[in-house]
Amino acid sequence: MTTSTSAAGGRGQGAQDTGYQPDPRRWRALWVTLVAGFMSLLDVTIVAVALPTVQRDLGASPAQVQWVVSGYALSFALALVTAGRLGDALDRRRIFLLALSAFVLFSAACGAAPDITLLVVARLAQGLAAGFMAPQNSALIQQLFRGAERGRAFGFFGATVGISSAVGPITGGVILALASGADGWRWIFYVNVPIGILAVLLGRRLLPRVQGSGRGRVDGTGVVLLGLGVLALMYPLVQADSGGIDRLWWLFPVGVAVLLVFAQWQRRLVAKGDQPLLDPRLFSTVRGYAVGAGVGTLYFIGFSGVWLVFALFYQHGLGFSPLRSGLAVTPFAVGSAFAAVVAGRMVERLGRLLTVCGLAGVILGLGGTALLLRYVDLGIAPWVAAPVLLVGGIGGGFVVSPNFTMTLRDVPVRMAGAAGGALQTGQRLGAAVGTAALPGLFYLVLGRHQDYRAAVVVALGAGLIGMVASLALATFDWRRDRRKRSGGGGRPRETSDDPVRSGQS
């Protein structure tokens, strides 16, 4: 099975794509990648509800058990850009299947871990495998779909991202409820094994065999610099529960400095005609990429942290079980899933306006929920808040998938992996900031006032700041597009099949 990898194929609707031949099995191949992506993103949050049980059964300290969650997130983020570049240069299918196989293997290792040290090591390896899978997902969508079909495919992808983030606590609670006993938490990892094996078998049959660009040399210096920069920014955040931000705050400026050196090194390679790890022209010449990356990062700062805040409020403040706590936020996941699929069909017609409306809906939904939890009787507040959370979820579905589509639609297929990896790295950084800052703020307010209502309102309000910033950036981009259309007659078209090579935007 073959499909085209021409540079023209990497663009959106701005040029003719004469080399593209639709693969008849593309939709079935998409579902394989979505299942794998769902598992890898679900594992970011599903483990959180089992941490008390893991700590008790393995005799771990709070700092040790926190690494079960934070170690996965850290290694996941570190792998993304390098994995995307390898997929571009070599073979996305092979890297995806190897990473998925490794993910299944290390999931089993997590479930069988006899002590906390081996569990943390297995989680680090599992996160690394997930990081190698993730950019291949978005790159395969770029490769397999064009035009309106690509928007629909990214709609399903966006639904996967949104649902996996929101239903992790619910799924973890269900598994713990069904698998009772001392080792019930192990099934949170074991459940990946049969699903993953099936995905590997189907992937071997359905995913296209395509050679990469043929430029297999990967920028080793860039890999080291980017890895050190991301590590310096994320390590204090993943250690936040054990005072990492207070102790390691100095790593933030170090990380920024290293990333600036990385950017300069990438520009130098481009000037010499060498192949960079992450081509800086993606941000300067590919229409919508820089704005989309910024919108996604700011959104995930608020989006990721609110679920931990809800879990803390419902479980500690109201005494809910993990399952009941997860069910209380299910309306957001349901709304997000429905809206993301619908958004995939609307994005070509409405463009960035869809993201603007979606962000407004999320802000309305989460802001309204915060007010209801503050002022409505706590006996009924979670259920009164359900319709408002549904509104927020519908808004969320109009954010993630359209933003992926508009950010990546003009990226050449030959660079789709690295571009998707960089986009998701920004989201992982945003998620790390949100999951460290919002629960920390929740505990800060609770410690000072002993008021769960005040704590949840302040923490959710802080999350909304990131979403408002994302809305401002999306609105700016939408208004700029409107001015260009009114002045120049439609969306600008590139003068080359490859905007990165041509230097046009």
Give the pLDDT confidence of 170-206 residue by residue, as tens digits. 787 788 778 777 788 899 899 899 999 999 999 888 8
pLDDT band at 242 (very low <50, low <70, confident <90, very high): low
Average pLDDT estimate for 469-474: 93
Per-residue confidence (pLDDT) for residue 48, from 0 to 100: 73
**DSSP characters for 404-437?**
HHHHHTTS-GGGHHHHHHHHHHHHHHHHHHHHHH
Burial class of residue 417 (count of CB atoms within 10 Å of its CB; 0-12, 13-18, 19+): buried
Q: Enter the DSSP assignment of 296.
A: H
140 is written with which tokens?
């395969």
Q: Quick one: the chain helix, strand, coil %, rounded to 5? A: 80, 0, 20
pLDDT band at 19 (very low <50, low <70, confident <90, very high): low
- CA separation for the pair 208, 1 (Å, rounded): 5
Per-residue confidence (pLDDT) for residue 166, from 0 to 100: 65
Q: How far is CA 18 from CA 4, 410, 437, 440, 497, in A?
A: 10, 16, 48, 53, 11
- CA separation for the pair 484, 210 (Å, rounded): 37
Per-residue confidence (pLDDT) for residue 4, from 0 to 100: 39
Per-residue confidence (pLDDT) for residue 488, from 0 to 100: 56
pLDDT band at 20 (very low <50, low <70, confident <90, very high): low
Amino acid symbol at 294: G
Give the pLDDT confidence of 362-403 residue by residue, as tens digits. 999 999 999 999 888 888 888 899 999 999 999 988 998 788
Give the pLDDT confidence of 261-278 residue by residue, as tens digits. 998 988 898 888 877 888
CB 502 within 8 A of CB 412: no
- CA separation for the pair 458, 306 (Å, rounded): 11
Q: Which of 57, 68, 60 is nearest to 183 (CA)?
A: 57
Give the pLDDT confidence of 443-467 residue by residue, as tens digits. 888 888 888 899 999 999 999 999 9
pLDDT band at 216 (very low <50, low <70, confident <90, very high): low
Q: Alpha carbon 326 to chain centroid distance?
A: 20
Per-residue confidence (pLDDT) for residue 9, from 0 to 100: 37
Q: Alpha carbon 430 to chain centroid distance?
A: 9
Per-residue confidence (pLDDT) for residue 470, from 0 to 100: 93
- CA separation for the pair 475, 253 (Å, rounded): 30
Percent of the chain topping pLDDT 70:
89
Give the pLDDT confidence of 102-152 residue by residue, as tens digits. 999 999 999 999 999 999 999 999 999 998 998 888 888 888 887 778 878
Q: How far is CA 7 from CA 18, 60, 83, 220, 288, in A?
A: 11, 51, 20, 25, 18
- CA separation for the pair 186, 182 (Å, rounded): 9
Higher model confidence: residue 84 or residue 214? 84
Burial class of residue 488 (count of CB atoms within 10 Å of its CB; 0-12, 13-18, 19+): exposed
Average pLDDT estimate for 405-433: 80
Maximum distance among all alpha carbons in the chain? 67
167 is written with which tokens?
């239903």
Sign of the Cα torsion 261, 262, 268, 272 reads positive
Per-residue confidence (pLDDT) for residue 500, from 0 to 100: 56
Per-residue confidence (pLDDT) for residue 10, from 0 to 100: 39
pLDDT of residue 505 exceeding 70, the answer is no
43 is written with which tokens?
């594992």
Higher model confidence: residue 63 or residue 197? 197
Average pLDDT estimate for 5-13: 38
pLDDT band at 13 (very low <50, low <70, confident <90, very high): very low
Q: Count H helices, E strands: the chain? A: 21, 0
**What length is written for the chain?**
505
Per-residue confidence (pLDDT) for residue 367, from 0 to 100: 93
Q: Which of 307, 64, 58 is nearest to 185 (CA)?
A: 58
- CA separation for the pair 403, 298 (Å, rounded): 12
